[in-house]
């Protein structure tokens, strides 16, 4: 996909610069056109590298965000499973203590 974007960008700039060079060819010599084309190709290469670097950076950022969400979901699933296991084995007294502590923790978290 990135290579395709590079090819399209290069083709676009080649066609654009070729059109500009052809329209000005009556006033320019061939040596100045070659120098101008070289400068344009250098500018295109720098632009392509900047775009590629940006795409790679953003792709890595999105990948990291997705991995963080996956890890968070795994931890939440483990917590839920632990709660379900606790529900199965807890005595009524232990469950009441759990409910009391749960409400106290909720109050404590909202006070912060």
Domain ranges of the chain: 2-79
DSSP 11-66: HHHHHHHHHHHHHTTTTS-HHHHHHHHHHHHHHHHHHHHHHHHHHHHHHHHHHHHH
**pTM recorded for the entire structure:** 0.52
pLDDT band at residue 42 under the 50/70/90 scheme:
confident
| pLDDT higher than threshold 70 for residue 67 | yes
């Amino acid at each position: 996909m990135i290579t395709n974007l590079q090819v399209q960008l290069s083709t676009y700039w080649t066609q654009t610069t070729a059109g500009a060079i052809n329209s000005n060819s009556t006033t320019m010599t061939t040596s100045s056109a070659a120098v101008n084309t070289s400068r344009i190709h250098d500018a295109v290469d720098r632009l392509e590298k900047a775009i590629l670097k940006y795409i790679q950076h953003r792709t890595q950022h999105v990948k990291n965000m997705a991995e963080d969400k996956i890890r968070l979901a795994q931890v939440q699933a483990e917590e839920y499973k632990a709660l379900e296991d606790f529900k199965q084995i807890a005595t009524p007294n232990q469950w009441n203590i759990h409910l009391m502590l749960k409400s106290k923790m909720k109050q404590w978290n909202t006070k912060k």
